Amino acid sequence: MTSMDYIRNFSIIAHIDHGKSTLADRLIQHTGGCDARNFQDQILDNMDIERERGITIKSQAISLPYTARDGNTYNLNLIDTPGHVDFSYEVSRSLASCEGVLLLIDAAQGVQAQTLANLYLAMEHDLEIIPVINKIDLPSADVERVIEQIDSELGLDTDTHLKCSAKEGTGIEDILEAIVQRIPSPTGTPEAPLSALIFDAQYDSFRGTVIHCRIMDGVVQSGDIIRFMYGGATYKVEEVGHFLLSRQKREVLSAGEVGYIIAGVKTISDVRTGDTITLENRPCDKPLPGFKEVKPVVFASIYPIASDDYEDLAVSLEKYKLNDASFVYEKDASVALGQGFRCGFLGLLHLDIVQERLEREYDQSLILSVPSVRFRLTLKDGTVQYVDNPSHYPPQMDIAKGEEPYIRAAMMMPERYLGAVMKLCQEKRGMNSSLSYPGPGRAELIYEMPLSEVIYDFYDRFKSVSQGYGSFDYELIDFRDSNLVLVDILVNGEKVDALSQIVHRDRARACGLQACERLKEEIPKQMFKIALQAAIGGEIIARTTITAFRKDVTAKCYGGDISRKRKLLEKQKKGKKRMKMIGNVSIPQSAFLAVLKSDTD
């Protein structure tokens, strides 16, 4: 049993791309967590997508045995956190498992919106904060400016900062020493009843769900009967242990430690991040604070391109769900696209990730409906409905009041982009703005905006108008009145329900026209003229036409070389197979996707 004095639990927090994963890799390498031969860059980001996008999606944990200058060996538990606003609750649970954080700041970019958001989170949890200036090797690094920001914008003592280049491997030893010396060792009473905080879970196809937790008080060992205090279920512990590069089985996990519990939990959905584990026969008084039911905020339906693949998709979703507790789905059916699933996501990035993983890892060809937020509708009979699926939108005449969710968006940028960003926010129905200047030449802009405006392309456009220098963070605030209508898209008079959208009336015409134009660009000419229309109820608000295909470029077909021509046609035929038939019109997947994106030019 390790004495708590020799444990440090910490996390690295940073704005996206400030080098969190690279630093984590260096710490692992430096403490001998793995030798250079087996070293695979960014071990903590172990999904392909994470590595490609450079962001961490799931939390991970690893124990680093470190012999400090004082001659003692410490167990440094690094709890990695997801690096995107969609996953802020998961971040908060990881932080609740720590005593301190490394606040990583890019020497060239300086303090950004998520640097601040993460700092506030860490402060809420009373954590020791060690500012680390990374990427000091960059030619554009401006360490003096960042030190100035640490003082003026973060309000931290400038003497506390460390400098490193995770890429070059400089400054790593100082960071490890600072973790030992400045981050407090965990507190907790091994003799007290068990209370353990769940900060993540992973699915192992042999062992079932592997629960990642921090033991606050008490001890847990195999054979114990544990209970999830919110979930209510009880399980018998099969194995406990620490995370090294792989799981290391231990006799017990004790107060202050970070590790895993395997207890025959079949599905990951039974384990909720933030829940408290205690012992069935000797429970603690009350659960640990901060538990929240994670609720999806963005919804979309997923359909297989070929309706025969529905069963396949169902199996893939089930498997995918095993490792993503925040992803929810249920059966859904579209008149146009057949059987599918209505899915809920934490945000648009989460949606992107799920779609990409289903296509890449599960080899599914998908059509995704236009993402929607969850609207609140009060009907004339007084009942209140939450609607996130346009196909469940009640008749307009039954609706007394419509409301949509609003967010508070915090954006930080060099002052020179202020005008362009404000214009964008106003276009997105932003209101109640406030502006502050946390440092010279830097502006922080707060806007309240409808979430529905943000889920389409806000982030891309924000990045583009601020030329990549802006950063963005948001939180949901409340529902507000909104004049909502349902816009349907008709292809040759047939409603394509998957393309329907619930939008603010002022935006309906623009949105309908844009959908028609997008479809026109993406749907290839066919044997007949295709009418594309947008409608609110029976009223056509926009229309456009795709002319019929009229002439093949008919290559000569003699000399007996018929194989060549057949191969050309086969290629075209393959392309058509990836299309969805609506009435007699073949619509390519790209058309459905194109409708999601609004104008970015």
Partner 1 sequence: MNLPGLYIHIPFCKTKCPYCHFYSTTDISSVDVFIVSIIREMALYADAFDTFDTVYIGGGTPSLLTIHQLDSIISGVHKHFDVPPNAEITIEVNPADGDLAWYRSLKSLGVNRLHLGVQSFSDQALTFLGRRHRSDDAFAALDNTVHAGFDNFGLDLIYGVPGQNLQSWRESLASAVSLSPPHLSAYQLAIEEDTPLCHSYRCGSFDIPDEDASLAFFLETSAYLERSGYHHYEVSNYAASPSQRSRHNQKYWDHTPYLGLGPGAHSFKEGRRWWNHRSIEGYLKDLAEGTAPVAGDETLTRDDLRLETLFMSLRTAAGIDVAAFCLQFGENLPEIHPSIIQSLVDGGLIVFKDGRISPTTRGLAVADQLALIF
- CA distances to 53, 93, 213, 239, 376 from 1, rounded to whole Å, are 39, 25, 17, 16, 53
Which residues from 572-591 bind partner 1, rule CB under 8 A? 572-573, 576, 584
Query: Dihedral of CA 453/459/464/466: which sign?
Result: positive
Which residues from 514-533 bind partner 1, rule CB under 8 A? 526-528
Please identify, using beta-carbon distances, which residue of 168 and 561 lies nearer to partner 1.
561
CB of 518 to partner 1, least distance (A): 22
Judged by CB under 8 A, the stretch of 16-24, 81-89, 138-146, 546-554 that binds partner 1 is 546-554
Q: Which of 360, 392, 566, 578 binds partner 1 (CB under 8 A)?
A: 566
DSSP conformational letter for 110: -
Sheet containing 162-163: order of strands: 60-67, 73-80, 7-14, 100-106, 128-134, 162-163
Q: Which of 144, 159, 191, 552 binds partner 1 (CB under 8 A)?
A: 552
Q: How far apart are CA 290 and CA 447, in angstroms?
A: 26
Q: Are 449 and 428 in contact (CB under 8 A)?
A: yes
Q: How far apart are CA 558 and CA 564, in angstroms?
A: 11
Q: Are 4 and 187 in contact (CB under 8 A)?
A: yes
Q: Which of 383, 435, 569, 578 binds partner 1 (CB under 8 A)?
A: 569
Query: Dihedral of CA 598/331/291/385: which sign?
Result: positive
CB of 391 to partner 1, least distance (A): 25
Contact status: 549 vs partner 1 (CB under 8 A): yes
x/- site string to partner 1, residues 453 to 472, per CB under 8 A? --------------------
Please identify, using beta-carbon distances, which residue of 400 and 548 lies nearer to partner 1.
548
Q: Which of 37, 381, 551, 600 binds partner 1 (CB under 8 A)?
A: 551
Helix (H) or strand (E) holding 21, with range, is helix 20-30
- CA distances to 164, 263, 439, 567 from 134, rounded to whole Å, are 5, 40, 20, 55
- 3 backbone dihedrals φ, ψ, rounded to 5°: -70, 145
Q: Are 200 and 58 in contact (CB under 8 A)?
A: yes
Residue appearing with tokens 């003096």: 144
Burial class (CB in 10 A: 0-12, 13-18, 19+), 35: exposed
CB of 21 to partner 1, least distance (A): 45
CB of 527 to partner 1, least distance (A): 6
Contact status: 545 vs partner 1 (CB under 8 A): no
Amino acid letter for position 122:
A
Q: Which of 398, 481, 561, 599 binds partner 1 (CB under 8 A)?
A: 561
Q: Which of 32, 400, 562, 597 binds partner 1 (CB under 8 A)?
A: 562
Return the closest-CA partner of residue 412 out of 455, 475, 463: 463
Q: Are 122 and 79 in contact (CB under 8 A)?
A: no
CB of 569 to partner 1, least distance (A): 6
Judged by CB under 8 A, the stretch of 127-135, 401-409, 530-538, 551-559 that binds partner 1 is 551-559
Contact status: 308 vs partner 1 (CB under 8 A): no
Could you please report the per-residue DSSP string of 195-264?
EEEEEEEEEETTTEEEEEEEEEESEEETT-EEEETTT--EEE--EEEEESSSEEEESEEETT-EEEEE--
CB of 139 to partner 1, least distance (A): 42
Q: Which of 5, 506, 570, 599 binds partner 1 (CB under 8 A)?
A: 570
CB of 334 to partner 1, least distance (A): 20
Contacts of 212 (CB under 8 A, 6+ apart): 59, 61, 198, 199, 200, 201, 202, 243, 258, 259, 260
Q: Which long-range contacts (CB under 8 A, 24 or more apart) does 569-578 make?
A: 577/306, 578/305, 578/365
Q: Which of 289, 330, 493, 555 binds partner 1 (CB under 8 A)?
A: 555
Please identify, using beta-carbon distances, which residue of 418 and 491 lies nearer to partner 1.
491
Q: Which of 426, 427, 557, 597 binds partner 1 (CB under 8 A)?
A: 557
Please identify, using beta-carbon distances, which residue of 331 and 573 lies nearer to partner 1.
573
Judged by CB under 8 A, the stretch of 322-330, 374-382, 497-505, 562-570 that binds partner 1 is 562-570
CB of 530 to partner 1, least distance (A): 12
**375 pairs with which residues across the strands?**
387
Judged by CB under 8 A, the stretch of 119-127, 210-218, 373-381, 565-573 that binds partner 1 is 565-573
Please identify, using beta-carbon distances, which residue of 392 and 566 lies nearer to partner 1.
566
Amino acid letter for position 424:
L
CB of 590 to partner 1, least distance (A): 18
- Applying CB under 8 A, the site for partner 1 has a residue count of 27
Burial class (CB in 10 A: 0-12, 13-18, 19+), 522: middle
**Binding interface with partner 1 (CB under 8 A):** 526-528, 548-563, 565-566, 569-570, 572-573, 576, 584
